[in-house]
């Protein structure tokens, strides 16, 4: 029997992401998570005048084998600030959890709920919180912990009695999060046209140069371009043939 070819009519199409919002907060574990995951979408959003803020649980200080964390943390922080600026993001906050051993739990939920109360987003973005990237590609514990805690904190932020100490610090409850969008999910539901932001997404990921030079023997630009464009094109098969950044969207 011949397999039917995967055309638009046989592959589930992704829905367009909602665009009736003004403020987004992206919460991830490491420098480069957003640049691998979804920065073409972020570039398109900031172009349209929306505000996007980044919160990182760690400084990625355990990410480079040949660099001591004390040296690596500040370097990766600088690379992250530069890569955020390329896609129109000027505010980047670090929660200073320890890279590689981020624990899912009350402390992480509280720190993320505090950030949500501070920035008052309608859309929260995070990275794949599931055990795998799909199939047998095992995810890292930091991504799982931060993704899950972010999904939970979207609700925690609105409840006055879950972390009452936050109100004492001037962070009043914020119950305005309408969606949490998970990038890098193996089961996406929605997408954004990556075309207008793709070139800046390439430059944004390239700002993590020290990390990428250690990661691959390839020329950094060839590697980054191949990875991001290949991924956007594969998602595009489910988005009318346009290169796409896909998200699994959880409504609230």
Q: Annotate each residue in 16-55 with x if it binds Zn ion (CB under 5 A) or - if it does not, as one string.
A: --------------x--x----------------------
Which is closer to Zn ion, CB of 30 or CB of 109? 30
Residue 216: DSSP 8-state:
-
Least distance to Zn ion, CB of residue 245, Å: 17
Which is closer to Zn ion, CB of 200 or CB of 208? 208
Q: Which two structure tokens, joined as six digits, stand for 187?
A: 């089961």
Which is closer to Zn ion, CB of 30 or CB of 129? 30
Which is closer to Zn ion, CB of 28 or CB of 113? 28
Which is closer to Zn ion, CB of 193 or CB of 207? 207
Least distance to Zn ion, CB of residue 14, Å: 23
Least distance to Zn ion, CB of residue 133, Å: 12
How many residues make contact with Zn ion (CB under 5 A)? 2
34 HSE (CA, 13 A, CB side): 35
Strand order of the sheet with strand 190-193? 15-16, 190-193, 244-251, 179-183, 123-127, 23-28, 51-56, 92-94
Select the residue whose beta carbon is closest to Zn ion and give its number: 30
Told to check if 77 binds Zn ion by CB under 5 A, we report: no
Contact (CB, 8 A) for 92 and 103:
no
Closest CA to 37 of 221, 201, 237, 216: 201
Residue 237 dihedral angles phi and psi, to the nearest 5°? -60, -25
In the complex, which residues of this chain contact Zn ion (CB under 5 A)?
30, 33
């Amino acid at each position: 029997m011949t397999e039917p070819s995967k055309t638009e009519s046989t592959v589930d199409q992704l829905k367009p992401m909602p665009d009736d919002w003004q403020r987004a907060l992206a919460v991830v574990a490491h420098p480069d998570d957003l640049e691998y995951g979804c920065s073409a979408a972020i570039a398109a959003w900031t172009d349209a005048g929306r505000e996007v803020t980044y919160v990182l649980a760690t400084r990625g200080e355990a990410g480079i084998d040949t660099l001591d964390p004390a040296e690596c943390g500040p370097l990766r922080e600088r690379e992250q600030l530069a890569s955020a600026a390329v896609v129109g993001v000027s505010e980047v906050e670090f929660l200073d959890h320890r890279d590689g051993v981020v624990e899912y739990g009350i402390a992480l939920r509280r720190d993320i709920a505090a950030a949500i109360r501070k920035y008052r987003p309608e859309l929260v973005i995070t990275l794949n919180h599931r055990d795998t990237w799909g199939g047998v590609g095992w995810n890292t514990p930091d991504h799982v912990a931060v993704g899950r805690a972010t999904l939970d904190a979207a609700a925690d932020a609105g409840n006055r009695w879950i972390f009452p100490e936050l109100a004492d610090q001037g962070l009043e409850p914020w119950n305005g999060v309408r969606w949490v969008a998970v990038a890098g999910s193996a089961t996406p539901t929605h997408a954004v046209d990556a075309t207008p932001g793709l070139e800046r997404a390439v430059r944004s990921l390239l700002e993590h140069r020290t990390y990428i030079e250690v990661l691959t023997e390839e020329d950094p630009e060839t590697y980054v371009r191949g990875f991001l464009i290949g991924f956007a094109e594969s998602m595009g098969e489910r988005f009318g043939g346009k290169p796409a950044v896909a998200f699994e969207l959880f409504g609230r």
